[in-house]
Amino acid sequence: MIELEHVSKTFRTKTNTVHALKDISLSVSKGDIFGVIGFSGAGKSTLLRMVNGLEVPSEGRVTVNSLSVAELKGKKLRAFRKDIGMIFQHFNLLESKTVYENVALPLKLAKKSKGEIESRVKDLLHFVELDDKILSYPKELSGGQKQRVGIARALALNPSILLCDEATSALDPRTTDSILALLKKINRDLGVTILMITHQMNVIQQICNKVAVLEKGSLIESGSVIDVFGNPKSPVTKNFIRTVINDRLPESVKSFLKNYTGSQKVLRLRFDGKNADEPIMADAIRETGVSISILYGIVTELEEKIVGFQTVQLRGSEEQIAAAEKFFDERNVPKFPVEL
């Protein structure tokens, strides 16, 4: 649905040249909540703005719903943009207009009739649970309420795609949760595909099904949220994940393993519900003769599934350890190496 192929963006100013995006390829499918995470300056906003044509790539191609964005002009570009809603960190509301007028704005620009505008605005404000704020001004609203107005406005023309630029970064944790729940509802009930950029890993953890990590303009890692959380490859990704799930082996366990003199293998196993009702560990011990000691574990929710990670020590002969590894493969328990 959204396709970036080898996209680069270079900004040239009088004094310097910034390579904001370097050879980015990614693909967002219909129905995804796709998260792009990175530090400030990583190029996230630039990437997002490529999707609705606010920025044009220096190299590469952006395709949305089979349309090459760079080739759209005039009427076609305007029609295309109506299908893409956008929300912002600082809401971008018109302070001198009421909530009603803010939400009505895109409908007015699209030359809808007065009656149509009135019923649509009321429906939208009901959907975002702001029925009672219809005549308020932005300054009379909390941050969360302002973002709800921003969301209602973004949905006014029934877009199939919603772009979110740090939509929860100015909000406290509880308000963030309620906005994320609303975005989830928009995705599930209205079928809107969401591309969101953020520097907060908890946002990715709570609602995304896919994630890409952007660092200094390069895409360093991407995949399903379960895969990336389960086996992050780059140090940056690992650090982002540690902000939400602490899956680091305690030092005491590490030193025990380092000093262990017998034949051993340390693995991190992932359990995601598919095999929850099978006595995997007991079967592994019985079938392969290996001993298993459970060192550390966490359980979390990702992609709306309960996912557990167990770090285990396998003890036994080399053959037994190899047989146990094969056993986990056969029972579809993903396993990852552990650095000591």
What are the residues binding ligand ADP (CB under 6 A)? 11, 13, 18, 20, 38, 40-46
Min dist CB 190 to ligand ADP, Å, is: 26
One character per residue 6-45, x = contact with Mg ion (rule: CB under 5 A): --------------------------------------xx
Residue 66 binding: pick among Mg ion, ligand ADP, none (C-beta 5-8 Å cut-off by kind): none
Beta carbon nearer to Mg ion, 44 or 81:
44
β-pairing verdict for 17-28 and 193-198:
unpaired
Beta carbon nearer to ligand ADP, 11 or 336:
11
Residue 41 binding: pick among ligand ADP, Mg ion, none (C-beta 5-8 Å cut-off by kind): ligand ADP
Residue 113 binding: pick among ligand ADP, Mg ion, none (C-beta 5-8 Å cut-off by kind): none
Residue 43 binding: pick among Mg ion, ligand ADP, none (C-beta 5-8 Å cut-off by kind): ligand ADP
Beta carbon nearer to ligand ADP, 18 or 67:
18
Q: How far apart are CA 153 and CA 158, in angstroms?
A: 10
Residue 84 binding: pick among Mg ion, ligand ADP, none (C-beta 5-8 Å cut-off by kind): none
Beta carbon nearer to ligand ADP, 17 or 113:
17
Min dist CB 24 to Mg ion, Å, is: 15
The DSSP result for 87-129, as a single string, is EETT----TTS-HHHHHHHHHHHTT--HHHHHHHHHHHHHHTT
Q: Which helix (H) or strand (E) holds 254?
A: helix 251-259
277: CB partners within 8 A, 6+ apart? none
Q: What is the token pair recorded at 336?
A: 């990852």
Residue 57 binding: pick among ligand ADP, Mg ion, none (C-beta 5-8 Å cut-off by kind): none
Beta carbon nearer to ligand ADP, 86 or 267:
86
Under rule CB under 5 A, how many of the chain's residues touch Mg ion? 2
Sign of CA dihedral 214, 215, 216, 218: negative
Q: How far apart are CA 1 and CA 67, in angstroms?
A: 10
Min dist CB 101 to ligand ADP, Å, is: 29
196: which strand partners? 35, 164
Contact between 102 and 94 under an 8 Å Cβ cutoff? The reply is yes
Interior angle at CA 135, CA 130 and CA 136, nearest 5: 75
Beta carbon nearer to ligand ADP, 16 or 261:
16
Beta carbon nearer to Mg ion, 45 or 145:
45
Min dist CB 115 to ligand ADP, Å, is: 40
Contact between 279 and 327 under an 8 Å Cβ cutoff? The reply is no
Beta carbon nearer to ligand ADP, 165 or 247:
165
Q: What is the token pair recorded at 61?
A: 């191609």
Q: How far apart are CA 260 and CA 231, in angstroms?
A: 25
254: CB partners within 8 A, 6+ apart? 340
Residue 171: phi and psi, rounded to 5, are -115, 155
User: Judged by CB under 5 A, does residue 320 bind Mg ion?
Assistant: no
User: Judged by CB under 5 A, does residue 209 bind Mg ion?
Assistant: no
Min dist CB 50 to Mg ion, Å, is: 13
- Please report, as ranges, the residues that interact with Mg ion according to CB under 5 A: 44-45
